[in-house]
Chain A
Amino acid sequence: KAGVTQTPRYLIKTRGQQVTLSCSPISGHRSVSWYQQTPGQGLQFLFEYFSETQRNKGNFPGRFSGRQFSNSRSEMNVSTLELGDSALYLCASSYRALEGYEQYFGPGTRLTVT
């Protein structure tokens, strides 16, 4: 089974621009979550989608948004980019295990904002 895929893998943007990142979950997984990783803050939860509905959102400004399509693929968008948005953005897909959910991560998109 193919793993979680993310595109693009690397991205360089300028302050004030916007960016869209894409994530395709493992086949059969209906839940997708997004995380931001920075050296200062570590790994932080952005949002979680299930069946095209946002179920949870982390503590990030409204410039960060996302959506999920009927095929479970997800996109996240960051508008009006700031230097501090430079980070590794990781997507995870999950399935219901015996206890809780087991999550699998994609390779990430490394975003640099200049």
Chain B
Amino acid sequence: GIQVEQSPPDLILQEGANSTLRCNFSDSVNNLQWFHQNPWGQLINLFYIPSGTKQNGRLSATTVATERYSLLYISSSQTTDSGVYFCAVETQGGSEKLVFGKGTKLTVNP
């Protein structure tokens, strides 16, 4: 099956710093989503981004489907950005099943 790899696994930043999280996937996909898992476990949608670039405030994401990777940029990080960021891909073939990476655990220190 498709493999989804996220890097780095852990990231520690000082408040105000910028960061880039990467997601590589091993096969063509219909869709890619980025999520932030809050301390209570809920997955919060950040981006639905099968291709191209999107921005939402301090966050932006780029997916280059032909090269099978996506990047999540966080600028001017805040302590509330702490948590685990997941990349998930929807494989081709009619299934809505999402295959998740193992996540990047981000810690933003004040």
Chain A residues packing against B (C-beta within 8 Å)? 31, 33, 35, 37, 42-45, 48, 50, 55-56, 58, 88, 90, 92, 94, 97, 99-108, 110
CB interface residues, B 60-99, toward A, < 8 Å: 86, 88, 90, 95-99
Q: Whole-angstrom distance from the CB of B66 to the nearest CB of chain A?
A: 14
Nearest CB in chain B to that of A6: its residue:
B42
Report whether A105 and B42 are in contact in the complex, using a CB–CB cutoff of 8 Å. Answer: yes
Majority-rule SS of B interface residues: strand
Kindly state the interface size class of chain B when it binds its partner: 20 to 34
Q: In the complex where A105-B42, A106-B42 touch, is A31 in contact with B96 (Cβ < 8 A)?
A: yes
Taking each of A45, A99, A100, which has the highest tally of chain B beta carbons within 10 Å of its own beta carbon? A100
| B20 interface contact, C-beta 8 A | no
* Of the residues A35, A55, A90, A102, contact of B95 by C-beta under 8 Å: A55
CB-defined contacts of A103 to chain B, threshold 8 Å: 33, 45, 88, 96, 98
- Of the candidates A33, A88, A108, the one whose C-beta lies within 8 Å of that of B96 is A33
3 pairs of A and B residues whose beta carbons are closest in the complex: A100-B31, A100-B30, A43-B100
Q: Do A100 and B90 have beta carbons less than 8 Å apart?
A: yes
Given that A43-B86, A48-B95 are known contacts, is A108 also in contact with B41, CB under 8 Å in the complex?
A: yes
Which residues of chain B come closer than 8 Å to A102, judged between CB atoms?
Answer: 31, 33, 45, 48
Tell me if B41 and A33 are in contact (CB < 8 A): no
Query: Among the interface residues B29, B51, B88, B97, which one has the most CB atoms of the partner chain A within 10 A?
Result: B97
Q: B43 an interface residue at 8 Å Cβ cutoff?
A: yes
A sample of 19 more A-B contacts (CB under 8 A), given A45-B99, A55-B96, is A33-B97, A35-B98, A42-B100, A42-B103, A43-B100, A58-B97, A88-B41, A100-B30, A100-B50, A100-B90, A102-B31, A103-B33, A103-B45, A103-B88, A103-B96, A105-B43, A105-B44, A107-B41, A107-B42
Measured CB to CB, the nearest residue on chain B to A46 is B97
Q: Which residue of B lies closest to A43 (CB)?
A: B100
Contacts of B30 in A (CB 8 A): 99-101
